[in-house]
Structures are given as structure tokens and as C-alpha cells.
Amino acid sequence: MIARLVPVLTAGLLLIAGCGSPSQQSSSTSAGRQKIVVFAAASLKKTFTAIGDQFAKDNPGASVEFSFAGSSDLVTQLTQGAHADVFASADTKNMDKAGQAGLLAGAPVNFATNTLTIAVAPGNPKGITSFRDLTKPDLNVVVCAPQVPCGSATRAVETTSGVQLTPVSEESSVTDVLNKVTSGQADAGLVYVTDTAAAGDKVVAVSFPEAAGAVNTYPIATLAHAGNPALAGKFVDLVTGPTGQEILTKAGFGKP
């Protein structure tokens, strides 16, 4: 009788062991594969991809999986239970939200700054030369939604300059704004200087002095439920260290 119970009990224990929480399973998988998941602002896609490649070289057997989106969307995902090891925001406001939700393992570190510019089609066919020009009635202007860092910066410029825009759409990420311009769906869009630099000859950047009053600071932090805190910390160190800073500077980001 006892002999017959052993296999049953063993199977039951294995079943219980396999029913851990999703977060525990995700952490175990990430640690076992030496993989970390990084949630990062859309404007960091090019630079963080390059930093991720360097990270893999510096840490044989390790890899980085990125999720790029608007910072506000990423915070929402994290508060709803999405798994990640590192969070890099395009502003301190959304990082503060993550901190207030108890998502951070420690104090975030500021690693870059970014400034708005106006993206227009090659040749600047509409002759846009200033922020006020964006109020012309014949222009289709696209901006970021207010909750997104680039949208918050846009609102700040509107407030300080006294110039109110009437955009045809408000996008959930700066990448979406840039795509509207490069695809010809918009005459102009407010994006970061790094976005126009990365777009090459697809757009022309029109700078405006009012942007200096709405510079965004980018913080990064390891998350409290990171599956591999040590590896996540190494990624943060790479971003904030000389190699990461060199990559960011070449892309047009400013120092924090």
C-alpha cells in the first residue's frame, strides 16, 4: 500500500512545485538563461540596442531583451504586473511613478538629457523656422500625448512661450510622431534632437530657442523584482559608465 502511494505523492509534489507564481517563473527563466529584460523609452531604441550589443560582448552567455515604448505606457505595464529587470524613462515624472508603486530596487540614476526640435520633410517645404510657425492654419502638426515625456515637454514650451498648438493628432510615443512626418502624414512634428539625428536624410530638424526651457532628464533603475539583480546592475553600470555615455553622446543626447 505504501509503495503504491510513493509515485502519487511524488507526482503531486512535482505538480505543486511547477505551480509557482508567474513572476517567480519569469525570474527563474531569466536567471537560468542569463537574460535580462529592459523596458526603455522609445527614444532610446537605437542607442540601447547598441549598448545591448556591447553588454552581450562584455558578459558572455548573457543577453538583453528590450521593450521600447512611451515611458507612461511602460510604467502602466509594470504596475499591471509585466516582468522586467531594468526601467529607463525619458523623464523623471514616470520614474517617480514607478518608485511610488514600489517597483524600484534602489534610487534611479540620471544618465542623459534630451531636447525637443521640430521635424519637417527634407527641404522644409512649408518654410517652418520657429515654434510659432507651427500655429499656421495650413499645417498638419503632430505632437506626443501629454502623459508622454515629449508631450509633457511640448506643453511646457507652450506654457512658457504663450504659443498654443492645435495638433491634428497626439501620439503615444515620439517614434510615432516621427513616423507621421517621414510618411508624409504630417507637415511637422515635435520630437527629440536624437530622433531627427537617427532619421538621417528622411527629415530636417528645425531648432527653436524655447526648447531650452523644457529639457528632459532620463533616469534608469534596477527593478525590485528583477530575476537577475546582479546582471541588471551591470547593464545599468554600462549605461551610466564611459562606454554607454559615449554611445549616447554620439547619438546627440546631453549629459545629465
DSSP H or E run through 216: strand 216-222
3-state secondary structure of 9: helix
pLDDT score recorded for residue 183 = 97
For residue range 199-227, what is the model confidence (pLDDT) as tens digits? 999 999 999 999 999 999 999 999 999 99
pLDDT at residue 21, as a whole number = 37
Q: CATH for 26-113+217-250?
A: 3.40.190.10
pLDDT above 50 for 59: yes
Q: pTM for the complete prediction?
A: 0.85
Which regions of the chain carry the CATH code 3.40.190.10? Answer: 26-113+217-250, 116-213
As its CATH architecture, domain 116-213 has 3-Layer(aba) Sandwich (3.40)
The C-alpha cell at 67 is: 521593450
103, three cell numbers = 517597483
| Segment among 10-24, 97-111, 213-227 with least mean pLDDT | 10-24
